[in-house]
Amino acid sequence: MKRMLFNATQPEELRVAIVDGQKLVDLDIETAGKESRKSNIYKAIITRIEPSLEACFVEYGGTPHG
pLDDT band of 16, cuts 50, 70, 90: very high
Into how many domains does the chain fold? 1
* Residues 19, 22, 25, 30, CA torsion sign: positive
Residue 66 lies in a domain: no
pTM: 0.49
Residue 65 lies in a domain: no
Domain carrying residue 35: 2-59
Residue 55 lies in a domain: yes
Give residue-wise pLDDT tens across range 22-58: 999 999 888 887 766 666 677 888 899 999 988 998 8
Spatial contact of 16 and 5, defined as CB atoms under 8 Å apart:
yes
Residue 44 lies in a domain: yes
Residue 21 lies in a domain: yes
Main-chain dihedrals φ then ψ at residue 53, nearest 5 degrees: -95, -10
